[in-house]
Chains A and B, each alone.
Chain A
Amino acid sequence: TQLLEQSPQFLSIQEGENLTVYCNSSSVFSSLQWYRQEPGEGPVLLVTVVTGGEVKKLKRLTFQFGDARKDSSLHITAAQPGDTGLYLCAGANTGGFKTIFGAGTRLFVKA
C-alpha cells in the first residue's frame, strides 16, 4: 500500500516568515501534486511535479520533487494571511492514474 506522510501536521506562523512543508513516502510515484483546500471547498491544484529533482516556482511558492520520486517539499517565502489553508500532497501510482493523498498540513498565518 502506498502511503504519503506529511509534516508538520499543523503550523502557525507570523506574516513574513518562511516555511517548508514535507511530503515523504517509501514508494515511488509517477508524479506528485500539491493542492490547497479552504473550508467548505474541495482541494484546488497548485502544481504537479513529474521529473525527479524537478523544481517549480509559483510566485512565493517553491516546489521540489525528490531525485528518487519518493518525496516532495513546498517552501513558502514571506508568508501572508492569504496563504492560510490546508496543504495536501497527492501522489499518482506508477501508472499515473490512481491518486492518493497525504493527511495534510494545516497552515495558519497571523497578520
Chain B
Amino acid sequence: GAGVSQSPSNKVTEKGKDVELRCDPISGHTALYWYRQRLGQGLEFLIYFQGNSAPDKSGLPSDRFSAERTGESVSTLTIQRTQQEDSAVYLCASNWGQRNEKLFFGSGTQLSVL
C-alpha cells in the first residue's frame, strides 16, 4: 500500500474484554514498531520487530500485552483483559530498518475502554 494502514481506526470495548489491533506496514519494510500515546502525551515505545530477529519487547507494560508479526507483513497487537488505563491511541510505524532512518506512521487506533 501507499502508507502504513491501521485498523480499526476506533475501538470501544468494555473493561475485561480482549482486543486486537492490526497494522499493515508499507510493502517491503522490514522493521515495524508499536507505540502507545495517551491523551496529550508523547509516544511510549511498546515493541519493535526487525526482519526475522527476535522482537524487542522491552516496552510492553504488562503480560496482558502481546504482539505478533508474520515475516515482513501484517502485525497484530493484542491486549487481554483490557483496563481503563489502556485507553490511548496505538500507533504503528515501519521502515526499511536502516540506521537512523525515519519512521513512517499510520494514523493510529483510538482505543477506549469503558
Q: Are A88 and B56 in contact (CB under 8 A)?
A: no
Confirm or deny: B111 has a beta carbon within 8 angstroms of a beta carbon on chain A: no
Interface-central residue, A6, A30, A42, A43, by most chain B CB under 10 Å = A42
Bound complex: CA A77 to CA B85 (Å): 39
State which of B11-19, B37-45, B66-74, B75-83 sits at the interface with chain A.
Answer: B37-45
Q: Which residues of A contact B25 (CB under 8 A)?
A: none
Residue of A nearest to B35 (CB): A101
Q: Which chain B residues have a beta carbon within 8 Å of chain A's beta carbons? A: 4, 31, 33, 35, 40-45, 48, 50, 56, 91, 93, 97, 99-100, 102-103, 105-108
Q: Give the size range of A's interface with the partner.
A: 20 to 34
Q: Which chain A residues have a beta carbon within 8 Å of chain B's beta carbons? A: 6, 30-31, 33, 35, 40-45, 48, 50, 88, 90, 92, 95-104, 106
Q: Are A50 and B100 in contact (CB under 8 A)?
A: yes
